[in-house]
């Protein structure tokens, strides 16, 4: 555990500051470049100036406040170093410097080379741009930072500079500390207000948040489930962990992430660590689609879990029993 409560408060404050600084940088990149300057990583997923620059900015702010706390983060220095063309490397430095003046190229590599947190009892967990495909499309994405301590997530911060649902459209930071609730603030202002999940008690009256990318979650089972539960409201389609944020602030009632039947891919911890606590502390509930607790202590992947069901809590059991039935039937 962290030494004391003062340390945790300091960590929460530094984490919000880091995410806010990164939001400014990714917003600038998104305005300036749209889909330019991206490359494909070895696994064929895209990465951009924004992913790297956001990671560098966040690691730099956190390293100053907590130099010894390890970091588990999505991007690594190897992929950037392997590029033959210097363009992306130069842009990462240039954009990171807009938040951290005086930053050097060596520091960029040092902050991207932070892969020392797996297996540690305490570490930051970061996805610098979650929903990169949305970012490239000019749509939503989230900067997701969490603190893991002794088997559980202690705090989570979601920076959502392009947050938009049917209910509202404004840049938000949504942040939670274990036992202290979830707060939401404008991305440019440090004025947190407490938020709560919706109080809807029947699934039929709920709003579903879901992925834009059909490869990431089964559209077929999602639509079947909605039909079985008589859900008629328009869905919230969103890239990145803003979907958890939408449940936490009450703009959606549930977030569904349903593996396509037969898929064996396991989820990355950085795609869920911040989101899960943000929903739980707003009064909601998160399990996988089989009803299991989300377990963050099995390395970089959620090895023990299958998909995600995040709800306002009140409708969880009703949705879960139908979802389990449909998933089992589709997997036969």
Q: Which is nearer to Mg ion, 95 or 270 (CB)?
A: 270
Find the binder of ligand AMP among 213, 228, 317, 318 (CB under 6 A). 213
Measured CA to CA, the distance from residue 308 to residue 98 in angstroms comes to 36
Residue ranges binding Mg ion (CB under 5 A):
127, 130, 271
Task: Determine if 235 is a binding residue for ligand AMP (CB under 6 A).
Answer: no
Listed ranges 11-19, 108-116, 183-191, 208-216: which one lies at the site for ligand AMP (CB under 6 A)? 208-216
Using the rule CB under 6 A, is 313 a contact of ligand AMP?
A: no
Residue 131 binds to ligand AMP (criterion: CB under 6 A):
yes
Using DSSP's 3-state secondary structure scheme, residue 155 falls into strand
Which partner from the list ligand AMP, Mg ion, none does 216 bind, CB cut-off 5 to 8 Å by kind?
A: ligand AMP
Burial class (CB in 10 A: 0-12, 13-18, 19+), 85: exposed
Please report how close the Cβ of residue 234 comes to Mg ion at its closest, in angstroms.
25
Q: Does 242 bind ligand AMP (CB under 6 A)?
A: no
Could you give the residue numbers annotated as active site?
51, 132
Q: In this complex, which beta carbon is closest to ligand AMP, that of residue 144 or of residue 197?
A: 144
DSSP string, 99-159: HSTT--HHHHHHHH--B--TT-SEEEEEEEEE-HHHHHHTS--EEEEEEEETTEEEEEEEE
- Rounded to whole angstroms, the Cα distance separating 295 from 266 reads 12
Among Mg ion, ligand AMP, none, partner that 168 touches (CB below 5 to 8 angstroms by kind): none
The β-bridge relationship of strands 254-257 and 285-287 is unpaired
CB of 84 to Mg ion, least distance (A): 26
Of 112-120, 209-217, 244-252, 295-303, which part binds ligand AMP (CB under 6 A)? 209-217
Q: Which of residues 265-294 bind ligand AMP (CB under 6 A)?
A: 265, 268, 271
Find the binder of ligand AMP among 240, 250, 283, 313 (CB under 6 A). 240
Q: Which of 69, 74, 21 is nearest to 52 (CA)?
A: 74
DSSP 211: -
Shortest CB 271 distance to ligand AMP, Å: 5
Phi/psi for 101 (5° steps) reads -60, 140
Give DSSP secondary structure letters for 316-328.
Answer: HHHHHHHHHHHHH
Among 51, 75, 239, 280, binds ligand AMP (CB under 6 A): 239
Task: For residue 272, give the DSSP letter.
Answer: T
**Binding partner of residue 325 among ligand AMP, Mg ion, none, CB under 5 to 8 Å per kind?**
none
Cα(251)–Cα(148) distance, integer angstroms? 27
């Amino acid at each position: 555990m962290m030494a004391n409560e003062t340390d945790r408060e300091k960590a929460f404050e530094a984490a919000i500051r880091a995410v806010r600084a990164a939001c400014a940088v990714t917003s600038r990149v998104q305005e300036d470049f749209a889909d330019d300057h991206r490359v494909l990583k070895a696994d064929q997923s895209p990465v951009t100036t924004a992913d790297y620059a956001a990671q560098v900015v966040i690691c730099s702010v956190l390293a100053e406040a907590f130099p010894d706390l390890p970091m588990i983060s999505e991007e690594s220095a190897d992929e950037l170093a392997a590029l033959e063309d210097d363009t992306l490397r130069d842009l990462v430095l240039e954009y990171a410097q807009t938040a951290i003046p005086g930053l050097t190229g060596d520091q960029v590599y040092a902050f991207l080379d932070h892969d020392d947190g797996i297996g540690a009892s305490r570490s930051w967990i970061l996805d610098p741009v979650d929903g990169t495909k949305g970012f490239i499309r000019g749509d939503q994405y989230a900067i997701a930072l969490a603190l893991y301590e002794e088997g559980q997530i202690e705090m989570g911060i979601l920076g959502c500079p392009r947050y938009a649902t049917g209910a509202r459209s404004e840049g938000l930071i949504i942040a939670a500390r274990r036992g202290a609730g979830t707060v939401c603030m404008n991305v440019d202002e440090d004025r947190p207000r407490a938020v709560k999940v919706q109080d809807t008690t029947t699934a039929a009256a709920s709003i579903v948040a879901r992925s834009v990318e059909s490869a990431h979650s089964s559209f077929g089972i999602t639509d079947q489930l909605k039909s079985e539960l008589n859900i008629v409201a328009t869905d919230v389609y969103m890239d990145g962990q803003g979907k958890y944020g939408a449940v936490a602030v009450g703009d959606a009632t549930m977030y569904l992430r349903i593996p396509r039947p037969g898929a064996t891919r396991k989820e990355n911890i950085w795609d869920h660590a911040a989101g899960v606590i943000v929903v739980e502390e707003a009064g909601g509930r998160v399990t996988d689609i089989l009803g299991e607790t989300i377990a963050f202590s099995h390395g970089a992947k959620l090895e023990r879990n299958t998909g995600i069901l995040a709800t306002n809590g009140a409708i969880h059991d009703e949705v879960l029993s139908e979802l389990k039935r449909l998933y089992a039937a589709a997997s036969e």
